[in-house]
Amino acid sequence: MNSANINDFAVESVSLAGALQSKLDAVCAAGFAQITLCAQDLVQHPDGVPAAIAAVLASGLRVSGFQTTVDFEGATGPLHAYKLDVAKAMLSLCKSVQCRVLILPSSTLTPRSSNTAALVRDLRQLAMLAIPMGIKVAYQGWLGGSLVKDYLQAWDVVCETDMSNLGLCLDSYDLLASTTTQAERIEDLDMLDPEKLFLVRLADSLNGPTSAWRVFPGDGDHSDALAEMVSTLHTLGYRGDYSLSVYNDDCAVMPPESVAQRAKASALWLGRDVLQRSVPLPNQIRLHRAARASP
């Protein structure tokens, strides 16, 4: 029997091998109500984008996030105009599958200036384009970004941009990979406004002989730390979606049904053993926010 909290979790399509339809079928069979897609799921469909869109809508799955790499913010001149057209196309694809959250990883391109003014300008422009479509833009800092390499830098840019539909995408894997201590990670999370946190991507880390593997929560070496992060976000008032974000060489060669079942076990662990024991006391969130707002 599924925990009611499984409805809070999505499986990312990049975690599953195979064609789009097999991914949709595997996620549905595992009992999930959500999936996070990427642009390649639609544009690489053998029968074309309209057929891919129809398959997604017919599945009954809610698309909780739509991920794409645009390298948009910070570009200038003809490159900016080109990237703007790409961004518009990604927003249209996002809307076509009735998704309300576009996941935007920070740009890998090096801007001419190291200040954030150009980033703010471009993110504001993108957010404005997304408003009439009813889409929120979840900005994610990551290690491959040119200037914005983590969620704290991304949060600063989001705050400076100051658009209601521009928020943060938080990836637990990046937090676990940081050199800060667990206590410092938890303290940093307290800086975030849960209403501006649009999506949380969850993955654990499993140390291999030469590198760390991205694995489902509960399968890695940092289950306790990950559970504390999720509990902290819950206590702070986050009630949005969680996306199970796992991609590794093993997932790429396993049947999608097997990977989806592992994702289910992870979601049930998070829902039953982590989130259900982190319900805050009455008024705790309200008092916490009031204290945080005090000078």
CATH number at residue 149: 3.20.20.150
The number of distinct structural domains making up the chain is 1
When pLDDT is averaged across residues 3-27 and rounded to a whole number, the result is: 89
Q: With contact defined as beta carbons under 8 Å apart, do 139 and 157 qualify?
A: yes
pLDDT in tens, 208-255: 766 678 999 999 999 999 999 999 999 999 999 999 999 888 999 999
Q: With contact defined as beta carbons under 8 Å apart, do 243 and 15 qualify?
A: no
pTM reported for the whole predicted model: 0.90
Residue numbers of the domain that contains 270: 4-293
The residue among 146, 199, 170, 157 whose CA lies nearest residue 36 is: 199
Q: Measured between alpha carbons, how far is 284 from 259 in angstroms, rounded to an integer? A: 37
pLDDT in tens, 198-209: 999 999 988 876
- Exposure of 31 by Cβ count < 10 A (0-12 exposed, 13-18 middle, 19+ buried)? middle
Pairing of strands 212-215, 204-207: antiparallel
Tell me the percentage of the chain whose pLDDT exceeds 90. Answer: 72
pLDDT in tens, 251-290: 999 999 999 999 999 999 999 889 875 544 344 333 343 4
